[in-house]
Amino acid sequence: MAHNSALHSNFDVDYVISYRFADTVSAEARDGFTALVQSLARVGLATEVRTGDNCSLLVFIKVGSDKRFAHEVYRSRVKEWLHGVRAAEPAKETQGTVSGQNLTEAERFRIIHHLITSPTDEGGAGVTPKEGRWKNVESIFPLHDHTFNKGWIKKWSTMTFLKVEDLDEIRNRFGEKIAYYFAFTQNYFAFLIFPAAFGFASWVILGSFSPIYALVNGLWCVSLVEYWKRQELDLSVRWGVKGVAGIQKKRRDFKHEKEIRDPVTGETLQIFPATKRLSRQLLQAPFALLAALALGTLIATCFGIEIFLSEVYNGPGKTLL
């Protein structure tokens, strides 16, 4: 009974880090693990360690300092406001407390993951799995909420289409990317109903190579794209993520060529020349042209063979071919 209840509770654990040291010298593994725990503690995260399988340790992570975490939430929202994602500036009164910030589960996980993985100069622990000094860090992952998953599956098994409120629930639990995936998939499948029915009717009534079928299909594809653009915009406004693509996170593999000081904020900016970036992107052009030519040739060949067999060829085995 106790084991079953434990499976349905995460004990307020936010993330788990798998630290594997099978191929590492004992002293090096110990020093790396000590550095990992110290780095997490420095950014206000509490840890608990349990033994894993096959020479590994499981580091359970939860927020250890509510004040530090509330400050990170406030910083994140101010950044979104400065980039135009949020319409209003976050209230300064919420800077020291989490309770007044209307925090969703997905946002909580995102900010904690940012604390774990972002560079130290940005206020994070700088833990990057399988990279550099963190080569023994195998993975970073959250735990499943079994109670929520069970109720979610039971609810969805009786539904044909999701409502906007269901998408809101997915967004609050798993984030906007997952919610967008379900929204697009549902729209795509719904839009397939008409071309499936119209295609069967065209096969029965219009025959092969019908220009009417081609025209209607083309217009229906354009309608799907334009409808999804509109719904994507509506959802971005509803979820408060319109323009979020403008917030860019520095990749850990980024190598700048020079540094300049911002005259307004005074912060140091790392710059990579736009001309060099463009020259690297243009290297893809010959490959793209070659791939397009090969694909066009293949499609034209298939259509040519089909037309030849159905309209020109009258020899033996035509029915089979």
Residues 296-317: pLDDT tens digits? 999 999 988 888 888 777 877 7
CA distance 33 to 5: 31
Planar angle of CA 66, 69, 244, nearest 5 degrees: 150
pLDDT on residue 2 = 41
pLDDT on residue 223 = 94
Mean pLDDT of the chain: 86
pLDDT on residue 99 = 64
Q: Provide CB contacts within 8 A for 281, sequence distance 6+.
A: none
- pLDDT reading at 48 higher than 70: yes
- HSE (CB half, 13 Å, CA atoms) of 22? 8
pLDDT on residue 33 = 93
Where is mean pLDDT largest: 85-99, 121-135, 244-258? 121-135
- pLDDT reading at 11 higher than 80: no
Q: CB–CB of 133/19 below 8 Å?
A: no
CA distance 52 to 241: 38
pLDDT on residue 3 = 44
| Least confident piece of the model among 35-49, 95-109, 144-158 | 95-109
Residue 220: pLDDT band by 50, 70, 90 thresholds?
A: very high
- pLDDT reading at 15 higher than 80: yes
- pLDDT reading at 218 higher than 50: yes
DSSP structural state of residue 88: S
- pLDDT reading at 144 higher than 80: yes
Q: CB–CB of 33/19 below 8 Å?
A: yes
DSSP structural state of residue 93: G
Q: CB–CB of 14/108 below 8 Å?
A: yes
Q: What are the two backbone dihedrals, phi and then psi, of residue 141, each rounded to the nearest 5 degrees?
A: -150, 150
pLDDT on residue 152 = 85
pLDDT on residue 6 = 47
Overall average pLDDT of the 55-83 stretch: 88
| Least confident piece of the model among 200-209, 213-222, 243-252 | 243-252
What b-and-e string marks burial along 204-215, b requiring 16 or more CB atoms within 10 Å of the CB? eeeeeeeeebee
Token representation of residue 201: 């009717």
Overall average pLDDT of the 129-149 stretch: 89
- pLDDT reading at 229 higher than 80: yes
Overall average pLDDT of the 27-36 stretch: 92
Q: Report which residue type is found at 42.
A: R
pLDDT on residue 141 = 93
